Amino acid sequence: MTLIVLGSIAGSPGVTRLAVGLAAGWPEPERERVLVEADADGGRLGALLGVGVEPGLMELAMAARASGLTATGLLERGSAPVGEWSVIPAPASSEQTASALTHAAGALANTIAADRTERVWIVDAGRLSVRSPALPFARLADQVLLVTAGSFAELQLVAHRADALRASGCAVAVVVVEPTSWSAAEIADFVGVAVLTVVPHVRTRDARLSAMSSTAWRGWWRCVTDLATLLAGGGRVGAEVADLGALGAGLSARDAGLQDTVTEG
């Protein structure tokens, strides 16, 4: 079993699309892939993928109260097939989703962690902090990916959030979404967290997931499939990076007058 959790700090940097990309582009097609929508602000995948929200997270939250629930049981009770992978969608209501996660995320995360198959579980946790009801998934994850836009205003939030999550037992790494004025190495030095990749920002008016098969997304797909291959290799990424102060001052100076565009969700 592999458990990957994706979350953001602020804005809409593209966590959901990246989660879909990892599920679709995982380099081991023989392994069953399951995308769990655990965004306390409410779900979109049921609508975007055309699978609805029932069965889904709400039904699993009720089932989690009973003993004996297994990972296979989660799939049978709450998932919908999407091509070669499956999704467990959350309801659109933030109130319903937050309540389901508050009461059942711990039990669901423990069930997934006890999975002894070769499944790949990918959790879209939305905005992730130590106060998030989706935190139990992150604590048990093989890797937590904090997805952030590449502007200074967004990057200066990363170090504190990553420190808090690591203090809670999470293995944190960062994915940056363009545009950004700095290399992955410079950003890693500044935020004190390993940056696994810098993802291209795709400028398109078509927000449908089906549009992700167009030529405009080729560079994005190459980057995401490379990231999936890295994650499939196993191991936890979360090393501290030193010499933050000097680079922080440099980034602050270079950011003066910089007008970055916040990337889409």
pLDDT of residue 234: 76
Residue 91 preceded by cis peptide, ω within 30: no
Q: How far apart are the first and last CA of the chain?
A: 28
Q: Closest by alpha carbon to 34, among 70, 68, 1, 67?
A: 1
pLDDT of residue 66: 75
Phi-psi sector, 123: left (phi>0), alpha (psi -120 to 50), beta: beta
Extended beta strands in 9-83, E state: 33-37, 80-82
pLDDT of residue 252: 37
DSSP codes of every residue in 144-191 = EEEEEESSHHHHTTHHHHHHHHHHTT--EEEEEES--SS-HHHHHHHH
Confidence of residue 222 (pLDDT cuts 50, 70, 90): very high
> Dihedral sign, CA of 172, 176, 182, 184?
positive
Cβ atoms of 76 and 69 within 8 Å: the answer is no
Rounded Cα–Cα distance for residues 210 and 101 (Å): 28
Tens of pLDDT, residue by residue over 159-213, are 999 999 999 999 999 999 999 999 999 999 999 999 999 999 998 877 678 788 8
Cβ atoms of 211 and 202 within 8 Å: the answer is no
Rounded Cα–Cα distance for residues 112 and 91 (Å): 20
Tens of pLDDT, residue by residue over 72-81, are 999 999 999 9
- Assigned token pair, 127: 């905005």
Cβ atoms of 167 and 240 within 8 Å: the answer is no
Q: What is the assigned CATH class of domain 2-255?
A: alpha beta
Q: Where are the chain's structural domains?
A: 2-255
Residue 55 preceded by cis peptide, ω within 30: yes
* Phi, psi angle pair for 40, to nearest 5°: -65, -15
